[in-house]
Amino acid sequence: MWPLVAYFVIVVCLVSAILVVSYLLGPRHSEPATGEPYEGGIVSEGSARVRFSVRYYLIAMFFVVFDLEAVFLFAWAVAARDVGWAGYCEVLLFIAVLFAALIYLWKVGALDLAWKPRLPKTSN
């Protein structure tokens, strides 16, 4: 318990010391241009709050899901001899489920990067 308390006290003291030193040594000027964004000499136009399409976030989530599978496959590859044929069958099932999910996403159009506007249905 005491090592944890000592560690916590050292961390708090270190963070406090860094904040005090940065306050004492830091620049103290408040010119009008200080708060302006600077992008390599290019004057910014418009707002910095750009709306991204939902497709951007979907692709990011799909990347995380399908990239995370590599961690499980590497872990299986390390333990392949220990888990034997049962582990081999399980990893084949795992890959089959991921492949089925990829096919499903492809069929429903979730992987299409081109934006297609949905036209309202007209009733005749």
| Residue pLDDT, tens place only, 7-16 | 999 999 999 9
Is residue 37, in this structure, part of any structural domain at all? no
Helix, strand and coil in the chain, % to nearest 5:
65, 0, 35
Is residue 82, in this structure, part of any structural domain at all? yes
pTM greater than the 0.85 cutoff: no
Is residue 112, in this structure, part of any structural domain at all? no
Range of the domain at 65: 54-107
Is residue 68, in this structure, part of any structural domain at all? yes
Is residue 114, in this structure, part of any structural domain at all? no
4 pLDDT higher than 80? yes
What does each C-alpha distance from 32 to 29, 37, 40, 47, 109 come to in angstroms? 10, 11, 18, 18, 49
Q: Phi/psi of residue 39, each to 5°?
A: -120, 75
- Residue 74 and residue 70: Cα distance in Å, rounded? 6
Is residue 27, in this structure, part of any structural domain at all? no
Is residue 67, in this structure, part of any structural domain at all? yes
Is residue 28, in this structure, part of any structural domain at all? no
Number of domains in the chain: 1
Would you place residue 69 in the very low, low, confident or very high pLDDT band (cuts 50, 70, 90)?
A: confident
